[in-house]
Amino acid sequence: MPLARQVANVLKAEGRSFTVSTPGRTVRLETDRGRDDYVEVALTTDVDPPAVVVHIRHTRGSRTIDEERTLKSGAAPDQISEDDLLEFLLSALEPWIER
């Protein structure tokens, strides 16, 4: 996913190091500080219509927050624009950007 790589490059330029990986059939932006902190984008076909789901895991101290959200509720994957994805990623990355 080129957009995820662009976001990671911008974050690195700002001093926040993230790596893009593709475990399984997902795209993951993970912090270089801790591999348990990430934003992962996946296509789920368990629902009709299929949906793009984002799993966010944020660890601070002994507290871990796991959250799963649909990228654009009710929208088929082909109805999601790059702008929709960018807006969602920036929102999901807020816990790491705010520091």
Residue pLDDT, tens place only, 40-56: 999 998 888 888 999 99
Task: Write the CA distances from 34 to 17, 29, 39, 49, integer angstroms.
Answer: 10, 11, 12, 34
Residue pLDDT, tens place only, 64-80: 889 999 988 888 888 99
Q: What is the DSSP letter of 25?
A: T
CA distance 38 to 29: 6
